Amino acid sequence: MKKAFTIIEVSILFVIFLIVAFLVAPLSLDDTAQAKNISRWRNVQTDFSNIFYSVNTENADASDFKDKFNFVLQDEITGDAKPYKITFLNGTFPNSTYRFSDYKTTTNNAVLSVKFFDRPQGDLQGLLMYDVNGAAKPNVWGKDVFGLNIYSDRFEPFCKNESVNIQRQECSKDGTGLCCSNYYLIGGSFE
């Protein structure tokens, strides 16, 4: 004779399925959000790589690179953004090099900040911070915040000249997340 499931057995299975769903769903949602942020970053990085054509062809009256850069960038800026805190992937706060101020909102509701050096370091003129989802959380380097080195003739993602192993390590929960700016562009995956 075939025995059917009792209501208690069915209830226990239902509870087990709910527990598994509650454990898996947040991980899946976090992965989806991270994938969107990476996709946004790839698009932004491509857009910024085209800016130098504009820097060199527009506003010929400005002799200073910083003035030319700001002139071209003004079309992307819609207003000021409120200051907020950004952390590294490992939970620590950035040192002064990677702390930014004067946050601006962009036409696609992201947050951007540029820091030019008082004395350029060789061809390196400054740094650019870009939060792909605006001031919305998590505000963490490598999750939704990425960066570019600003040279007089190009943008380069942070850590572009580092080995893939260093980039992978820096783009882990124990790293700063700065190298994620390039690591995701070369096909690295978030972990």
User: Could you tell me if residue 3 is inside a domain?
Assistant: no
- Number of domains forming the structure of the chain: 1
Burial zone of 183 (CB within 10 Å; 0-12 exposed, 13-18 middle, 19+ buried)? buried
Question: What is the extent of the structural domain holding 82?
Answer: 38-183
Supply the pLDDT for residue 63.
56
Supply the pLDDT for residue 41.
84
Supply the pLDDT for residue 26.
56
User: Could you tell me if residue 89 is inside a domain?
Assistant: yes
User: Could you tell me if residue 78 is inside a domain?
Assistant: yes
Supply the pLDDT for residue 30.
56
User: Could you tell me if residue 146 is inside a domain?
Assistant: yes
**In the block, residue with structure tokens 């998590």:** 138
User: Could you tell me if residue 55 is inside a domain?
Assistant: yes
Closest CA to 178 of 169, 191, 187: 169
What is the pTM for the complete model shown?
0.77
**In the block, residue with structure tokens 């989802």:** 133
Backbone angles phi, psi at 117, to 5 degrees: -80, 145
User: Could you tell me if residue 26 is inside a domain?
Assistant: no
User: Could you tell me if residue 8 is inside a domain?
Assistant: no
CB crowding 62-94: b at 16 or more within 10 Å, else e: eeebeebbbebbeebeeeebeeeebbbbeeeeb
Closest CA to 153 of 42, 47, 53: 53
Supply the pLDDT for residue 89.
93
> Could you tell me if 136 and 110 are in contact, meaning their C-beta atoms sit under 8 angstroms apart?
no
- Using a pLDDT cut of 90, give the percent of the chain over it: 38
User: Could you tell me if residue 188 is inside a domain?
Assistant: no
